[in-house]
Amino acid sequence: MSMPSSALNSQSAMIGSKKLLSIDLLAPIRQWMDNFEINDPTIAHRFARFIPSQCPFERNVNFLGRTLFHIPPLCKLNPLYEQMVGLRFRSLCYLADTCGEDIQAYL
């Protein structure tokens, strides 16, 4: 049983409208962060200083020497986590490779 061409067109329009509903609102920010070039030592130092190397929210809650519970790293819930880690990495690479600086203080 074949469908009439008008039915096929209405289905493709529906599929097209569903695609419009699933637009990633953070895509422009992600793209900007991924394409941001580090070419200034001051900016590289700021990114390396302000973007932590480890998730600052991960904790073990201890009481009287015993671990009561563990708070897992919540940074992965951040929708821009990968881009921030990439910015920090590119900043450290710029400082080490281009500027020839020691980056041990940031590790």
Residue 1 has pLDDT above 60, yes or no: no
Higher pLDDT, 10 or 45: 45
Give mean pLDDT, residues 5-23.
52
CB of 95 within 8 A of CB of 41? yes
CB of 58 within 8 A of CB of 72? yes
Residue 39 has pLDDT above 60, yes or no: yes
The total number of structural domains in the chain stands at: 1
Spell out the residues 6+ positions from residue 1 whose beta carbon is closer than 8 angstroms to its own: none
> Residue holding tokens 């897992």?
72
DSSP 8-state symbol, 105: G
What is the C-alpha to C-alpha distance for residues 86 and 95, in angstroms, rounded to an integer? 14
Please give the residue range of the domain that contains residue 56: 25-106
Q: Is residue 6 part of a domain?
A: no
* Mean per-residue pLDDT over the chain, rounded: 84
pLDDT in tens, 43-77: 999 999 999 988 888 889 999 999 999 988 888 88
Q: Is residue 4 part of a domain?
A: no
